[in-house]
A and B are shown apart, each in its own frame.
Chain A
């Protein structure tokens, strides 16, 4: 298939997934603010969120103070912010439009409808009380897009590159969400088994749809160690780093071409480290250090995928 076509499909999926994870993060923050409304806690929380999505500098360059409303506005709708939810959904639709002929009409219509409704939502959500609905809606549209892609598209290379985009983006996003929590709640990382703020950690679990999963897997108190273990190492947890990198690696094996050998090797290395790694080693190293190294390796993988499959080296 044309590299440009694969590129559009890959980014269509990445942007859709990114929009969903941004909505998840915002949703959790809003819920937590309802529990603890001290101004400095709220400010710290939103500063951390902006940092997680890599937008704190851009935000502070454009705004004087960090408030919840302004931060939500910035991450959800700010037009000058290339990382906003709105921008992600715009780009997802734009990429889909460019390869309309490759998508099933249901897939195209789903992404197009999301984009059309977004414009309507933007006006409604400005009335604050419905922001929760908006985050739910973004998640729902992402579920719908994934479902229609898996349910209607031919399971060929086009689907492979779509999945590659989805799982690579999700691995990155889960790592960032986890990192932000450890920064905010465990500054010294000294006592990973201590009883901690139940609501904060359960909120983190909820933000990645892992609260019920945690209960089912551990049937015990929520501790940072187990939360990290679940989100990093649990194979069957669909948003865990291990699950995502498994999927990325399997896909890269299937689409391998003459020059992607090194990329497959590196994805295999990441995957093996997660398959055979243990949470104790992570805690010894420090969760944040471990995640930083993981993020840099997935970002390297992204660059290598672009190079091997999506844009040719002959590109001027």
Chain B
């Protein structure tokens, strides 16, 4: 296999600085190196003092860690973002149409565009949701779509996150830190603002309240202070000015959800939940769940409360459903997909399985229900023994896996111990769907800090960068 050149966000193949990084390169050349080191330390202090941390599961000491923040921004030109935004809007619209269809008439299955057993036999398909009508027919109110660039810089969708996508607080905190540390850079660039995200989110959540509710009460449901993303839950609730509730704060009486307040029970209309489906209602799902609210599903099915994201969205972002998303765009919207999928082999198909098994050392194999970068094989980086072990796991249950070519993800200059060096990045824009489909420009850029690493997950040594979408006038 010919090793593909890595697309560099800042430099062209010949080493010239790309036009949209020109002002940054000039600033960098003018700024003394030790002042930059100082800024990096200052950034660390800022994040630690504000307690912008995440907890790591399986870490016995229970310590909270900082997510490394890199001070080199990832810059996206206006026209490039326009294209992405159209593609994201199209894709999320199609995904929501698919969810509505799957839980109603299942036309796409009857038309044979997606194999019925692929959907109906999937554990992510929730029969409880069949036939329930949701306001605006929206299921995934908040979608985090992971994008990567490869080859000559073309964007691909790596995966759709439609359950409880997280990370948006880092997008906001990264911007706040950058503006505080480098105000002079913002004078050289017109960067599109992202700070209104909490307002957009609240507006979206209010727009999908049950019919007839005029001034809906929205709450954020968290699993509690020990959850890895608790900082984000507390942050978003505070920014939106809504109550941060735990399961024990809510109860259901006669199909109405209430929260317990010092002034007595108060009706709740919309629950922005950061708790997984399985834990939402011990009467309907896992009976051992202490995080949920008994009877919530009954109230939900009766249309008395809206849960965001809806229960059962996992059927649309499952890795085994992913290969069919372009087909959804064509089927529901009658359009050609603007955003491309990464070519994917579906191992439940015999011919795909045979190809993948013959080429394991060149491919990335993913477990369809895996998340957080766990349960995957990166062929080119794996030892022969690891590959053989993984081969046995695939053969034991091929339907659990998909495979993709190893993409050489684009790289962005990043400060590491040795100075500035390219590191692989991805991009997670957050798409909000309510009455309208909206998003703030950009999203969360995650960066794999270890040299050569392709895994950007925060649980595995990934960091974040501020993402700058430039205003059109600037170019």
- Chain A interface residues toward B at CB < 8 A: 1-4, 6, 97-98, 100-101, 157, 161, 255, 257-259, 309-312, 314-316
Contacts and interface: CB of A to CB of B under 8 A. Distances in A.
Nearest to B266: A2
Contact of A101 (B237, B251, B264): B237
Contacts of B41: none
Interface stretch (B117-125, B255-263, B444-452): B255-263
Contacts of B244: 101
Contacts of B263: 257-258
Interface string B358-377: 00000000000000000000
A314 B260 contact: yes
A316 B243 CA distance: 22
Contact of B262 (A3, A100, A314, A315): A3
B45 interface: no
A316 B294 CA distance: 10
B384 interface: no
B262 A157 contact: yes
Contacts of A258: 263-264
B22 interface: no
A311 B260 contact: yes
A4 B248 contact: yes
Contacts of A98: 225
B218 to A, nearest CB: 14
A315 B258 CA distance: 12
A101 B238 contact: yes
Given A4-B249, A157-B262, A312-B265, A100 B234 contact: yes
10 A-B pairs with the lowest CB-CB distances in the bound complex, closest first: A312-B260, A3-B260, A309-B262, A6-B262, A101-B234, A257-B263, A314-B251, A4-B249, A101-B238, A1-B262
A271 B367 CA distance: 67
Contacts of B260: 2-4, 311-312, 314-315
Contacts of B253: 314
B246 interface: yes
Nearest to B248: A4
B164 interface: no
Contacts of B248: 4, 315
Nearest to A160: B262
Contacts of A157: 262
Given A101-B234, A101-B237, A101-B244, A3 B261 contact: yes
A2 B243 contact: yes
B225 A97 contact: yes
A258 B244 CA distance: 24
Given A2-B243, A2-B245, A4-B246, A255 B262 contact: yes
B264 to A, nearest CB: 5
Given A2-B243, A3-B249, A4-B246, A257 B262 contact: yes
Nearest to B265: A312
A6 B260 CA distance: 11
Given A101-B234, A101-B238, A312 B262 contact: no
Contacts of B234: 100-101
Contacts of A3: 249, 260-262
B296 to A, nearest CB: 14
A314 B261 CA distance: 12
Interface string B222-234: 0001000000001
Most buried by B among A4, A257, A259, A316: A4
A98 B245 CA distance: 11
Contacts of B251: 312, 314-315
A263 to B, nearest CB: 12
B57 to A, nearest CB: 19
